[in-house]
């Protein structure tokens, strides 16, 4: 009885010891794993994102990344070509691989570069789907995917970058409608979607871009401009040339004192210009309405747009005479009026375009 009690207590203490040992080992394992996880986030998340991108490059004709982006674990990614790091935290803030002739797809790992402010891939041959993980890059101010081979519809998650100022998808094969969600970008200043296959109406939500200065939508298949653009208070450039725009209400709806350039050349817009157009566009320097179906008179008060340099009204249905008062526009250097129904006079007959 005594002995068995002694044995029992001995066994219990051994079990206790074992349990403690196991517990301590588990703790130690946990601590090591924890330390590794932290080190991983600090030092190699950005590196593995870049190496993943490198692994998805199928062509690097100038051997730029092949030679420079080393997979050695002690290689400092902040010295890699195209990479800029923040001074304090040593995380990647800019990735600019523009004009390198690269071909490949964008891996989802790029969405782990959580300190990224600028992502520039301009003029390469990137293609394939854009991974939604990119929408995790909450600090982005610049996205430039211009002149690549991306296709399909523009993903609506592009609307989820609260700080985005510059958004360029020009020169790709994007098609379909613009998702209204992208006009959720409340900090946006420059949007360039030119030279794609985009179509339909431009969503009226574009009127939410209260900070926007430049809208470039040239060379697409858009059919309608919403009048909401007409009151964007910071807008300086509106370029929607070579589309399929129709309708007569858009130009009269323009009331933007900041607007400098209006280019609607090569559409099918119609209607006449309001005589008081300059009251609503006091800063305008270039008005290009060539190759449309505009009609009516050339506004006799056009001379009130004091900053005008270039007027292109050729290939329309304007009629009547050319207001002589245009001659007192101090900066006017070019005016194109040929192929209209203007009365024959110095500018309207033989010579319908001239330079001062
Ligand atoms: C990569 O290129 C940068 C300059 O662009 C250079 O400073 C760095 O040493 C290069 N690294 C390697 C491993 O070639
Ligand atoms: C990105 O690189 C290209 C080519 O080197 C350069 O022209 C462009 O200015 C750079 N973009 C930015 C935002 O620095
Ligand atoms: C980075 O992103 C990829 C894909 O989105 C994911 O599988 C990976 O675990 C992420 N984390 C790190 C630390 O690389
Ligand atoms: C719109 O922007 C807000 C703030 O930046 C964000 O929380 C929200 O998810 C965005 N909505 C869409 C549809 O992208
Ligand atoms: C546009 O602004 C209106 C009014 O502020 C808001 O209700 C709507 O959600 C916004 N739309 C987008 C796409 O941001
Ligand atoms: C044009 O805009 C100004 C200020 O931006 C505003 O006061 C005025 O009422 C607007 N005019 C029209 C016709 O909408
Ligand atoms: C342009 O609009 C006119 C009507 O204003 C129409 O008759 C013509 O077919 C249209 N042309 C094109 C190319 O859409
Ligand atoms: C320009 O022409 C208009 C109309 O003839 C005239 O009322 C105006 O005073 C002229 N302005 C200047 C600065 O000569
Ligand atoms: C605008 C521009 O510089 N485009 C260039 C993009 O890259 C191709 C070669 O991949 C050049 O031919 C273009 O001139």
Could you read off the pLDDT of 112-162 as tens digits, one per residue? 999 999 999 999 999 999 999 999 999 999 999 999 999 999 999 999 999
Mutate to test the pocket of ligand 1, among 47, 67, 68 (most ligand atoms within 8 A of CB): 68
Atom of ligand 9 nearest to the CA of 125: 10
Give me the sign of the Cα torsion angle 334, 232, 116, 137: negative
pLDDT, tens only, 43-98 = 589 999 999 999 999 999 999 999 899 877 778 899 999 999 998 888 999 999 99
DSSP characters over 50-114: HHHHHHTEEE-TT-HHHHHS---TT--GGGSTTEEE-TTT--EEEEE-TTS--EE---GGGGG-T
200 DSSP β-pair partners: 222
Helix (H, G, I), strand (E, B) or coil at 307: coil
- Mean pLDDT across the chain, nearest whole number? 87
Question: What pLDDT is recorded for position 119?
Answer: 98
Ligand 7 neighbourhood includes 293 CB (under 6 angstroms): yes
Q: Say whether pLDDT at 13 is over 70.
A: no
Model confidence band, residue 3 (pLDDT cutoffs 50, 70, 90): very low
CB 306 within 8 A of CB 281: no
Mean pLDDT, rounded, for 181-194: 96
Question: What pLDDT is recorded for position 43?
Answer: 53
CB-based burial label for 79 (10 Å; 0-12, 13-18, 19+): exposed
For the chain, the 3-state helix, strand and coil shares in percent, each to the nearest 5, are: 30, 25, 45
Ligand 1 neighbourhood includes 79 CB (under 6 angstroms): yes
Atom of ligand 3 nearest to the CA of 112: 1
**Centre of ligand 2 from the C-alpha of residue 270, in Å:** 40
Sequence spans of domains, the chain: 1-149, 223-356
Atom of ligand 4 nearest to the CA of 157: 14
Torsion on CA atoms 251, 255, 257, 261, rounded to nearest 10: -20
Name the CATH topology of 223-356.
3.80.10
pLDDT, tens only, 202-245 = 999 999 999 999 999 999 999 999 999 998 999 999 999 999 99
Cα distance between residue 268 and residue 139, in whole Å: 40
Tokens linked to 273? 């210009």
pLDDT, tens only, 317-343 = 999 999 989 988 999 999 999 999 998
Nearest bound ligand to the CA of residue 268: 7
Q: Say whether pLDDT at 278 is over 90.
A: yes
CATH of region 1-149: 3.80.10.10
Residue of minimum CA distance from atom 1 in ligand 7: 268
Residue of minimum CA distance from atom 8 in ligand 2: 98
Fold equal for 1-149 and 223-356? yes
Percent of the chain with pLDDT over 90: 78
Ligand 9 neighbourhood includes 101 CB (under 6 angstroms): yes
Cα distance between residue 187 and residue 165, in whole Å: 6
**Centre of ligand 4 from the C-alpha of residue 139, in Å:** 13
């Amino acid at each position: 009885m005594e002995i068995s009690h002694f044995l029992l207590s001995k066994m219990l203490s051994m079990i206790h010891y074992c349990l403690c040992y196991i517990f301590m080992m588990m703790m130690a394992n946990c601590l090591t794993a924890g330390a590794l996880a932290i080190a991983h986030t600090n030092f190699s998340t950005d590196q593995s994102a870049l190496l993943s991108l490198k692994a998805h490059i199928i062509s690097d004709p100038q051997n730029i990344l092949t030679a420079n982006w080393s997979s050695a674990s002690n290689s400092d990614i902040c010295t890699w070509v195209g990479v800029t790091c923040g001074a304090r935290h040593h995380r990647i803030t800019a990735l600019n691989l523009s004009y390198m002739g690269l071909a490949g797809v964008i891996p989802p790992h790029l969405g782990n570069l959580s300190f990224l402010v600028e992502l520039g891939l301009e003029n390469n041959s990137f293609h394939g789907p854009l991974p939604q993980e990119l929408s995790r890059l909450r600090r982005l101010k610049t996205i430039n995917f211009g002149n690549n081979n991306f296709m399909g519809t523009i993903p609506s998650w592009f609307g989820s970058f609260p700080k985005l100022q510059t958004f360029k998808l020009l020169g790709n094969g994007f098609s379909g409608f613009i998702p209204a969600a992208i006009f959720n970008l409340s900090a946006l200043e420059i949007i360039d979607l030119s030279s794609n296959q985009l179509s339909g109406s431009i969503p009226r939500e574009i009127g939410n871009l209260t900070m926007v200065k430049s809208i470039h939508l040239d060379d697409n298949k858009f059919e309608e401009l919403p009048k909401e653009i007409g009151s964007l208070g910071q807008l300086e450039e509106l370029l929607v040339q070579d589309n399929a725009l129709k309708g007569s209400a858009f130009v009269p709806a323009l009331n933007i004192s900041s607007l400098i350039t209006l280019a609607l050349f090569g559409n099918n817009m119609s209607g006449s210009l309001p005589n008081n157009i300059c009251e609503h566009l006091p800063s305008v320097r270039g008005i290009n309405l060539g190759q449309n179906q505009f009609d009516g008179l050339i506004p006799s008060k056009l001379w009130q747009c004091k900053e005008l340099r270039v007027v292109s009204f050729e290939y329309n249905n304007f009629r009547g005479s050319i207001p002589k008062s245009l001659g007192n526009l101090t900066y006017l250097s070019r005016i194109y009026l040929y192929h209209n129904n203007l009365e024959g006079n110095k500018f309207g007959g033989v010579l319908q375009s001239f330079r001062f």
